């Protein structure tokens, strides 16, 4: 369970977080409501424990603002001011089981937390889905933006060639000769760009249809090819070459295609910064007994990294849902995504 504690008393809130951490609860803390709001925008929390009285914004106001960002978030209030008025207001807002008087007994707080969260205390499917959908939307948005950018480049070239034709027509009207070979070159350039746009759009279409089925039996090399094509522009920008080496024997797996594409992208995104001087990533798929494995190699820069925190929370949630894991071999410069059948 991930918890955010907000209280303007730094000593209290930091100690509380530390004590919760000892009990295996992942707790972050903030002393200002503004910072707390910024934090929940970036990170998912199951629950927030809020002080009722803080400068600038009280706990109830903060809860309302937080609910706009994270509608599913749960709340517990704490107060040092046990006046009847605040107590009633707190109960009204949070229900009597979510309202604690300071000093807070830690065991009671933990108990209340579990109570408030009900079934979704741990890494439940629900919270995973919140992380996965957030990551998924970002992934889809990023890819769509990149594709639209590339199509714009195609249009810009076609536009210049249309303009060039117009210039040539104008010159012909003024009496200049038109060179047929010059016209041929314009036609070739337009055809080249049309075929470029066609392959971009075909891949976009395959990508868009990967959300059609939640679970599907797929050829791993086809999935890799889709992600590699989507990532090519990002790789170009970083001066990295992506090399997909399809397996000789088809590797199939029953999995969640879109989520798999998402995790491959997360790995590629990391890998593109880890190629060292060589600037090349090779991707291969293979069967490992019952599991399927996607290997990204050429990550020479991994050796120089200290303590890579990868995958992040979103990646972990994706892997859990995909029934997969990631292993990183810093010495060989290799990253493996290992997948078990996911029915």
Partner 1 sequence: MADKILLVDDEEDFVETLAERMRSRGMDVSTCTSAVEALEKIDKKAFDAIVLDLKMPGMDGLEALKRIKEKNSKIQVILLTGQATIEKTIEAMKLGALDLLEKPADIEMLTEKIKQASSKKMHLVNKEHEDKIKKIISGKAW
Q: Which residues are at the interface with partner 1 (CB under 8 A)? A: 145, 148-149, 152-153, 155-161, 163-164, 167, 171, 189, 192-193, 236-239
Q: Of 155 and 308, which CB lies nearer to partner 1 in the complex structure?
A: 155
The least distance separating partner 1 from the CB of residue 52, rounded to whole angstroms, comes to: 38
The least distance separating partner 1 from the CB of residue 174, rounded to whole angstroms, comes to: 12
Q: Of 101 and 190, which CB lies nearer to partner 1 in the complex structure?
A: 190
The least distance separating partner 1 from the CB of residue 232, rounded to whole angstroms, comes to: 11
The least distance separating partner 1 from the CB of residue 173, rounded to whole angstroms, comes to: 14
Q: Of 201 and 308, which CB lies nearer to partner 1 in the complex structure?
A: 201
What does the alpha-carbon distance between residue 263 and residue 252 come to, in Å, rounded to a whole number?
17
Spacing of C-alpha 343 from chain mean position: 23
Nearest to 323 by CA among 292, 302, 279: 292
Q: Of 182 and 332, which CB lies nearer to partner 1 in the complex structure?
A: 182
The least distance separating partner 1 from the CB of residue 185, rounded to whole angstroms, comes to: 9
Which residue do the tokens 């004590």 mark?
19
What does the alpha-carbon distance between residue 112 and residue 117 come to, in Å, rounded to a whole number?
8
Q: Of 185 and 288, which CB lies nearer to partner 1 in the complex structure?
A: 185
CB-based contact 205:191 (threshold 8 Å) = no
Cα dist from 93 to 4, 59, 77, 118, whole Å: 19, 10, 9, 19
The least distance separating partner 1 from the CB of residue 260, rounded to whole angstroms, comes to: 28
Q: Of 15 and 184, which CB lies nearer to partner 1 in the complex structure?
A: 184
Cite the beta strand spans of 8-73 per DSSP E: 26-30, 47-51
**Calculated CA dihedral for residues 252, 255, 261, 262, nearest 10 degrees:** -150
CB-based contact 45:30 (threshold 8 Å) = no
Please state whether the peptide bond connecting residue 157 to the residue before it is cis, i.e. omega within 30 degrees of 0.
no
Q: Of 145 and 308, which CB lies nearer to partner 1 in the complex structure?
A: 145
Tokens at 236, concatenated = 């170009």
The least distance separating partner 1 from the CB of residue 137, rounded to whole angstroms, comes to: 19
Q: Which residues pair with residue 292 across a beta bridge?
A: 287, 339
What are the DSSP calls for 234-247, one per residue? HHHHTT-EEEEE--
The least distance separating partner 1 from the CB of residue 151, rounded to whole angstroms, comes to: 9
Q: Which residues pair with residue 334 across a beta bridge?
A: 297, 329
Q: Which residues pair with residue 50 across a beta bridge?
A: 6, 77
Q: What values do phi and psi take at 244, rounded to 5?
A: -100, 120
Q: Of 133 and 148, which CB lies nearer to partner 1 in the complex structure?
A: 148
How many other CB atoms are there within 10 angstroms of residue 143's CB atom?
Answer: 23
């Amino acid at each position: 369970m991930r918890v955010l504690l907000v209280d303007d008393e730094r000593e209290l809130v930091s100690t509380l977080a530390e004590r919760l951490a000892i009990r295996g609860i992942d707790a972050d803390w903030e002393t200002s409501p503004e910072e707390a709001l910024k934090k929940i925008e970036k990170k998912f929390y199951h629950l927030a424990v809020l002080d009722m009285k803080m400068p600038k914004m009280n706990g109830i106001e903060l809860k309302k603002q937080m609910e706009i960002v994270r509608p599913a978030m749960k709340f517990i209030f704490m107060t040092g001011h046990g006046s009847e008025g605040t107590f009633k207001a707190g109960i009204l807002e949070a229900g009597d089981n979510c309202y604690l008087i300071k000093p807070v007994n830690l065991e009671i707080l933990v108990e209340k937390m579990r109570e408030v969260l009900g079934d979704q205390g741990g890494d439940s499917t629900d919270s995973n889905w919140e992380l996965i959908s957030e990551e998924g939307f970002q992934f889809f948005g990023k890819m769509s933006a990149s594709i639209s950018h590339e199509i714009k480049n195609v249009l810009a070239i076609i536009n210049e060639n249309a303009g060039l034709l117009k210039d040539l027509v104008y010159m012909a009207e003024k009496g200049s000769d038109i060179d047929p070979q010059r016209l041929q070159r314009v036609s070739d350039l337009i055809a080249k760009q049309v075929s470029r746009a066609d392959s971009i759009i075909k891949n976009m279409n395959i990508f868009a249809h990967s959300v059609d089925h939640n679970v599907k039996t797929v050829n791993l090399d086809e999935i890799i090819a889709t992600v590699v094509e989507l990532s090519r522009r990002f790789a170009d920008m970083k001066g990295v070459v992506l090399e997909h080496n399809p397996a000789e024997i088809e590797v199939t797996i029953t999995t969640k295609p879109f989520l798999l594409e998402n995790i491959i992208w997360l790995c590629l995104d990391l890998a593109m910064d880890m190629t060292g001087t060589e600037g090349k990533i090779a991707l291969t798929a293979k069967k490992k007994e019952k599991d399927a494995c996607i290997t990204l190699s050429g990550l020479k820069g991994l050796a120089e990294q200290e303590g890579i925190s990868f995958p992040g929370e979103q990646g972990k949630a994706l892997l859990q849902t995909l029934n997969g894991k990631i292993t990183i071999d810093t010495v060989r410069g290799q990253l493996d995504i290992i997948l078990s059948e996911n029915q």
